[in-house]
């Protein structure tokens, strides 16, 4: 699914070879999961010979909010982090899709569980990431036996590295049982999200998705889909509690995320969703989304940050 391809990384204020961007085994974040991160996709537009970073500022704004929850100090403003990211990519000059990973982490070489009196660090690198779920005709999902961590346990609205143990347990359970992905419920038994994706149902021509109160990450792809559906298709979105069995009888189901993009769900708990493949509304949203991320929809060009200066601009 993923493999390193970069030669350059950025660690605590310096660009350096990726192979040298290492941390000590005593690093607090390595031992306790005390870090926040983002995943930012960059899409290569062959026709324009341009790499577009999708909603990069929104990702860095969310990173700053995650840092606030975990008592971390971000290394700069979202705009400053944008510029560091662009400079890193320009140094390597990739002409293909990329996946950018910034992390703010507790960097002290210290044993002891706490968030206070611990130094902070920052690392930025990128890698190749293909299809996160390799089943675009309709992935097979199961309801996980692992419940989604509650906001009063580990705040789900922050992308905290330690919370992804919850996701890893659910993901491995699903794959080892022959499914592509897991769907986690809240402790009250309502649908929350996948191991790394938000989830949408299409019921009677409307999008239905779990509300922020259902321990979901407030996904940036999620927000993009809601806007595309409303503006381009005239389809509204209802955010509310969703029962497990509603997924079985929905007309269509799909998952969204930076890694997952828009992934149709064809089966849940061995029950076909709709006709069992990608539905017509999901297909249209996919088409719109992949046009938007390559800056091919003028109304959403502001979502895409170009990495390289155009020939005209450089003259």
Supply the residues annotated as catalytic.
159
Planar angle of CA 90, 93, 96, nearest 5 degrees: 125
Alpha-carbon span 272 to 256, nearest angstrom: 19
User: Are 139 and 266 a contacting pair, CB within 8 Å?
Assistant: yes
User: Are 223 and 98 a contacting pair, CB within 8 Å?
Assistant: no
**104 half-sphere exposure, CB direction, 13 A CA radius:** 28
């Amino acid at each position: 699914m993923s493999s390193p391809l970069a030669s350059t990384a950025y660690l605590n204020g310096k660009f350096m070879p990726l192979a040298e961007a290492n941390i000590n085994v005593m690093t607090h974040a390595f031992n306790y999961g005390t870090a926040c991160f983002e995943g930012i996709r960059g899409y290569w537009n062959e026709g324009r010979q341009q790499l577009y970073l999708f909603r990069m500022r929104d990702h860095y704004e969310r990173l700053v909010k995650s840092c606030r929850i975990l008592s971390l100090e971000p290394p700069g403003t979202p705009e400053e982090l944008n510029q560091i990211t662009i400079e890193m990519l320009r140094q390597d000059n990739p002409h293909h899709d990329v996946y950018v990973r910034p992390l703010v982490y507790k960097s002290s070489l210290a044993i002891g569980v706490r968030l206070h009196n611990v130094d902070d660090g920052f690392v930025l690198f990128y890698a190749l990431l293909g299809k996160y779920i390799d089943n675009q005709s309709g992935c097979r999902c199961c309801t996980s036996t692992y419940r989604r961590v509650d906001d009063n346990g580990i705040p789900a609205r922050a992308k905290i590295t330690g919370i992804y143990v919850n996701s890893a347990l659910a993901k491995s359970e699903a794959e080892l049982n022959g499914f592509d992905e897991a769907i986690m419920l809240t402790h009250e038994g309502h649908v929350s999200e996948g191991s790394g994706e938000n989830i949408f149902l299409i019921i009677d021509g409307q999008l239905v998705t779990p509300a922020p109160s259902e321990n979901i990450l407030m996904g940036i792809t999620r927000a993009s889909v809601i806007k595309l559906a409303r503006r381009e298709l005239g389809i509204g979105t209802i955010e509310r509690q969703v029962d497990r069995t509603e997924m079985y009888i929905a007309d269509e189901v799909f998952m969204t995320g930076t890694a997952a993009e828009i992934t149709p769900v064809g089966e849940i708990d061995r029950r076909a969703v709709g006709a069992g493949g990608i539905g017509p509304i999901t297909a249209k949203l996919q088409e719109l989304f992949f046009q938007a991320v390559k800056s091919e929809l003028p109304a959403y060009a502001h979502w895409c940050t170009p990495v390289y200066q155009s020939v005209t601009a450089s003259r």
